[in-house]
Structure 1
């Protein structure tokens, strides 16, 4: 059953130095043609597998709000016509850069059903913003949030990063302090990971960039968890914190290992037990849609063993953890039957614990999450 949709808009006004998502500089790109082909992909995909009980739509990138007003309206109309179809209660999220959103554009989003917006703040330090390739100022973060509130979008997420090149604990604490002054209900906070094919990766290989020491990264993450808890934000996933019960329903789809459509160039999806990825280059994306109706370049039928592994390493990202009863009902076996000695070893190392029926990470386990997850890859 597919009840969630991700839509990828691969255009940006500026390429951030750490970003490895499929993206293109906006200038001289066939944006309108892309939206036409995106619509073709959506129509053909839903014809093959109808959406059932739609719960979430997430529009990411790239930078979705890099589209102009007319293109934004075209995208919103497309989503409502083919995907939402008047259904109530759908969580609809748009990603945005703080300096690329106007009141007019936010009004189009609000009128079109967007009820959640995610601003890529990353840091409130002006020097660090420039160092990572961001073009907004700290003041523009606050202005964007206030404007979203003015048009009636109250469910607001702020993306923050830590362990940035040269970032001090004082700078990170200052960013958190400034974030707490704003009317937000959700924070996603991630440490910098230097990925191949990024500006930072090239600079690192040339010896011009030095990643933050692991101990600094761990100290910032440890502080983050304690700080946000004191400020009334509930940590429900390794990197995500909410208050007033406003968890990201869409991201929970991934962590619950549920199926979802992925539309757009470079998008990934999981439908009918098959994980797939779309062509990233626009010409290839257009060509495949013309030829096959869908732009898949890779499809993989997930085996039962892989599903069980994913259930564990995705589910353990959630602070609630993974229910052994639900796991046994779904797969006909207990944790220990599928992963002999793994739970015992991780428990002995103080990385996981049982609470009622759920296996979950300990505090130490949160700090060493990747080591825990690897244990479930057989």
Structure 2
């Protein structure tokens, strides 16, 4: 049974230099027709998997940029979501947002439509860095939009921040954190830049034109991040996420706990009935398929038992609380130490993992090399 629903809105008024998500420049795109196609996809999926949608806990609008839509388009989108998803069990409804796109009309459309959490892509408070990464907002946009969101009624607001950006200094990173904390918000996500293929930054990188901070400086930025979040009363609950008590992301926890969720929209991914799947990315192919009465799935994979174990380990270890022995044993009817004893013992001896009667978790040292730790839990079929 699915716990969450992800809905992809692949339209942007500006394409960021680091973004590798499925997205399209907004101008001249069939946005209204896309919303109608989403309606048809959700109808098809809820009919095929009726049991999976009875107790949805979270909904997440991602992109692209959901707030690229007009107020009227947002109203229509939120109405169709309520048509197919029983809202009585939904406790968290998030929309991603850009600070320079959230007019009061859009904000009220979201709030009145059931959205109770905003995830805002701020990335930096340094205007020159923002230009380098392709962002169009200013600090003034951020301050005004957050004040407006609070006026409309939003209390659960999260900011996305980035470090390890081209040419970024420690002084710039500390200044961004200082300005972020001054906003007195309950949640922050902070990610190091990853240069992904098919992005503007990747093209610059392959030509030797992208000058990134050293690995040591990036690690120091992460260390400052963790220290400053703790000093400002925000608990780290996942490698890249920090929150006041009661404000951790319920939707993202579904991913980290390796539970099922539905993905709707062009290029969306989902995990239903033991099958991971992805949708057609191109708009034309996506819309043609659903308009023909078929789910727009381009790839499906039945997850094997070993893969479920692997995913449980490398997703669960992203959480600061780690993986409890009880939950693992309930899912797989065996102890973690049956398959992973030597791996766990080696990582504990290296100071990267803690192991106690409650469960296993990354140490602070382990958080700096999380991906290297996760790879140790891959099994051979």
What is the TM-score of this pair, normalised by structure 1? 0.98
> Shift in Å at residue 211 of structure 1?
2.6
What's the counterpart of residue 72 of structure 2?
70
Kindly indicate whether the alpha-carbon contact (under 8 Å) linking 1:164 and 1:212 is maintained by their aligned counterparts in 2: yes
What's the counterpart of residue 206 of structure 1?
207
1:127 aligns with 2:128: yes
What's the counterpart of residue 36 of structure 1?
36
What's the counterpart of residue 250 of structure 2?
249
Distance 2:377 2:288 in 1: 39
> Shift in Å at residue 90 of structure 1?
2.4
Distance 1:18 1:316 in 2: 26
Distance 2:54 2:346 in 1: 40
Distance 1:73 1:337 in 2: 51
Where do 5+ consecutive residues of structure 1 fail to align?
none
Kindly indicate whether the alpha-carbon contact (under 8 Å) linking 2:3 and 2:254 is maintained by their aligned counterparts in 1: no
After TM superposition, list the pairs within 5 Å mapping 1:95-134 onto structure 2.
Answer: 95-134=96-135
Aligned length: 377
After TM superposition, list the pairs within 5 Å mapping 1:26-175 onto structure 2.
Answer: 26-50=26-50, 51-84=53-86, 86-87=87-88, 89-175=90-176
What is the TM-score of this pair, normalised by structure 2? 0.97
How far does the alpha carbon of each residue in 1:38-80 deviate from its partner, in whole angstroms, 9 at most, with x for none?
1100111011112021100000000000001111111111111
What's the counterpart of residue 326 of structure 1?
327
How far does the alpha carbon of each residue in 1:95-144 deviate from its partner, in whole angstroms, 9 at most, with x for none?
00000011111011111111000110000000000000000001111111
Kindly indicate whether the alpha-carbon contact (under 8 Å) linking 2:44 and 2:293 is maintained by their aligned counterparts in 1: no
Where do 5+ consecutive residues of structure 2 fail to align?
none
- Counterparts in 2 of 1:89 and 1:56: CA distance versus 1, 3 Å: closer
> Shift in Å at residue 292 of structure 1?
4.9
Distance 1:278 1:208 in 2: 34
How far does the alpha carbon of each residue in 1:210-263 deviate from its partner, in whole angstroms, 9 at most, with x for none?
232111111000110011001000000000000032110000000000000000
Distance 1:181 1:168 in 2: 20
What's the counterpart of residue 16 of structure 2?
16
Distance 2:339 2:356 in 1: 20
Q: SS of the counterpart of 1:341?
A: helix
Is the deviation greater in 90-99 or in 205-214?
205-214
Distance 1:265 1:48 in 2: 19
* Cα RMSD (Å): 1.0
What's the counterpart of residue 177 of structure 2?
176
Distance 1:106 1:290 in 2: 31
Kindly indicate whether the alpha-carbon contact (under 8 Å) linking 2:4 and 2:251 is maintained by their aligned counterparts in 1: yes
How far does the alpha carbon of each residue in 1:8-47 deviate from its partner, in whole angstroms, 9 at most, with x for none?
0000000000000000000000000100001100111011
Distance 1:288 1:252 in 2: 31
How far does the alpha carbon of each residue in 1:330-371 deviate from its partner, in whole angstroms, 9 at most, with x for none?
212222211241001111110000244110000100011011
Distance 2:150 2:249 in 1: 18
